[in-house]
């Protein structure tokens, strides 16, 4: 059975992630299969809309094939670059797709799962949704368009999510605009069936099935987030949290100190630059440059070792302090590639 199922159901193109043992984490072949289906349906008058969901299992998509990326990064990085290039092409294709896309973010939606759901016109969260960009814990950064999406969230929530990897539930996703609709999971199959019958009535179908989301817990922390995460300098954020003795601030301080200082500084600059961009292709080009450089730096291999392989959760970051991460190091990570190596979107 394929790791991703693509088929036409009535007048709807269906993309169903089908790798449950890995919580549907993306591989390069899965990205290629999704691209092929989307390109085929793009000019097919028989396909009016696209649905992205997952088969069995507790998550929509937990990210990408991180172990492969780390193994590749420890050698020549070629396989990692090939994966990122294809994945980012998929992200850009979805972002620019002319036909409406409905993504069902039911369950774990992290990393690569964010990249294939956030470009969708309709993004459905449920009581099972657990949204996060946890990359700084493994020395990476919130890619797949994170610099675009997170930087456009209210206040400094995007910076908070990028640095801490905090998990948002379905109600919080709806509150922040990461999801357009909040629908109980038990209604999803009926909603999909209705869309297949009447793809021109998506708005009404989703609206009718929608429920009032519970109170968003993050709403009570917005003032604190905006104050403590106001700066684009990691040192300033840490100092601000250190000066606040509240339980929330001290908890977030402990969380931040466990993350890769390099990854945190990369993320802050990524969001600052992403906020100023007007073309999503420029965002993906920047993120590909970052990924190409970061995947071969020590923190990525060490983060994957500590979190996913040995699971001791005791990474030895290098540099191990924010002060040790120089502006020159960050400039190098953001530096352009040769013309032959730069990321390019699909020729549409």
Give me the mean pLDDT over the 175-187 stretch: 98
* Domain assignment present for 339: no
SS3 of 46, please?
Answer: coil
Helices 234-242 and 261-276, interaxial angle, to 10°?
A: 110
pLDDT value at residue 210 = 97
155: CATH = 3.90.226.10
pTM: 0.97
* Domain assignment present for 220: yes
Each residue's pLDDT tens digit, 4-46: 999 999 999 999 999 999 999 999 999 999 999 999 999 999 9
Out of 112, 146, 147, 303, the active site residue is 112
Please confirm, yes or no, whether 64 is among the known catalytic residues.
yes
Q: What share of the chain is helix, strand, coil (3-state, %, to 5)?
A: 55, 10, 35
Mean pLDDT score of the chain, rounded to an integer?
97
Out of 53, 106, 135, 299, the active site residue is 135
Pairing of strands 130-132, 101-105: unpaired
Q: Are 135 and 307 in contact (CB under 8 A)?
A: no
Q: Are 296 and 88 in contact (CB under 8 A)?
A: no
Q: Where are the beta strands (DSSP E) in the chain?
A: 4-9, 12-17, 49-54, 59-61, 101-105, 108-110, 122-125, 130-132, 168-169, 181-182
* Domain assignment present for 296: yes
CB atoms within 10 A of CB 216: 18
Best mean pLDDT range from 73-82, 218-227, 305-314: 218-227
* Domain assignment present for 347: no
Domain residues for 173? 4-333
Q: What one-character DSSP code corresponds to residue 180?
A: S
Cα angle 157, 323, 305 (rounded to 5 degrees) comes to: 75
Q: Report the C-alpha gap between 210 and 1 in whole angstroms.
A: 33
* Domain assignment present for 343: no
- Residues counted in the chain: 348
Out of 57, 63, 64, 170, the active site residue is 64
SS3 of 123, please?
Answer: strand
Give me the mean pLDDT over the 167-188 stretch: 98
Q: Report the C-alpha gap between 222 and 29 in whole angstroms.
A: 40
Each residue's pLDDT tens digit, 111-146: 999 999 999 999 999 999 999 999 999 999 999 999
Q: Are 15 and 4 in contact (CB under 8 A)?
A: yes
* Domain assignment present for 45: yes
* Domain assignment present for 191: yes
Q: Report the C-alpha gap between 95 and 115 in whole angstroms.
A: 9
Q: Report the C-alpha gap between 286 and 273 in whole angstroms.
A: 9
**For residue 112, how many C-alpha atoms fall within 13 Å in the half-sphere facing its CB?**
26
* Domain assignment present for 42: yes
Please confirm, yes or no, whether 170 is among the known catalytic residues.
no
Q: How many domains does the chain have?
A: 1
336: left (phi over 0), alpha (psi -120 to 50) or beta: beta
Q: Report the C-alpha gap between 161 and 179 in whole angstroms.
A: 15
Out of 48, 65, 143, 299, the active site residue is 143
Tokens 């999510």: give the residue.
161
Each residue's pLDDT tens digit, 36-88: 999 999 999 999 999 999 998 889 999 998 889 989 988 999 999 999 999 99
Closest CA to 67 of 286, 255, 310: 310
196 Cβ contact partners less than 8 Å away, ≥ 6 residues apart: 9, 10, 11, 12
Give me the mean pLDDT over the 241-252 stretch: 98
């Amino acid at each position: 059975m394929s790791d991703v199922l693509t088929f036409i159901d009535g007048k709807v193109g269906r993309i169903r992630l089908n790798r449950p043992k890995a919580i549907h984490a993306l591989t390069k072949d899965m990205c290629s299969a999704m691209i092929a289906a989307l390109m085929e349906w793009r000019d097919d008058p028989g396909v009016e809309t696209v649905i992205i969901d997952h088969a069995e299992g507790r998550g929509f998509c937990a990210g990408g094939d991180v172990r492969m990326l780390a193994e590749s990064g420890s050698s020549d990085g070629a396989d990692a670059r090939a994966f990122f290039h294809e994945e980012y092409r998929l992200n850009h294709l979805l972002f620019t797709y002319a036909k409406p896309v409905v993504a069902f973010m039911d369950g774990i939606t992290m990393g690569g799962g964010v990249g294939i759901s956030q470009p969708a016109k309709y993004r459905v969260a449920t009581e099972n949704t657990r949204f996060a960009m946890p990359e700084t814990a493994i020395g990476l950064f919130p890619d797949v368009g994170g610099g675009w999406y997170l930087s456009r969230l209210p206040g400094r929530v995007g910076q908070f999510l990028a640095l801490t990897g905090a998990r948002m539930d379905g109600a919080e996703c709806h509150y922040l605009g990461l999801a357009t609709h909040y629908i109980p999971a038990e209604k999803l199959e009926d909603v999909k069936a209705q869309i297949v019958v009447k793809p021109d009535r998506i708005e009404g179908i989703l609206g009718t099935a929608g429920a009032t989301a519970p109170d968003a817990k993050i709403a009570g922390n917005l003032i604190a987030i905006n104050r403590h995460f106001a700066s684009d300098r990691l040192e300033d954020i840490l100092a601000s949290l250190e000066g606040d003795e509240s339980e929330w601030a001290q908890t977030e301080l402990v969380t931040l100190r466990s993350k890769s200082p390099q990854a945190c500084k990369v993320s802050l600059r990524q969001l600052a630059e992403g906020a100023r961009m007007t073309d999503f292709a420029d965002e993906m080009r920047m993120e590909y440059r970052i990924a190409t450089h970061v995947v071969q730096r020590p923190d990525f291999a060490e983060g994957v070792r500590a979190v996913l392989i040995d699971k001791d959760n005791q990474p030895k970051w290098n540099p191990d302090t924010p002060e040790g991460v120089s502006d020159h190091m960050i400039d190098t990570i953001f530096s352009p590639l040769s013309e032959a190596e730069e990321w390019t979107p699909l020729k549409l």
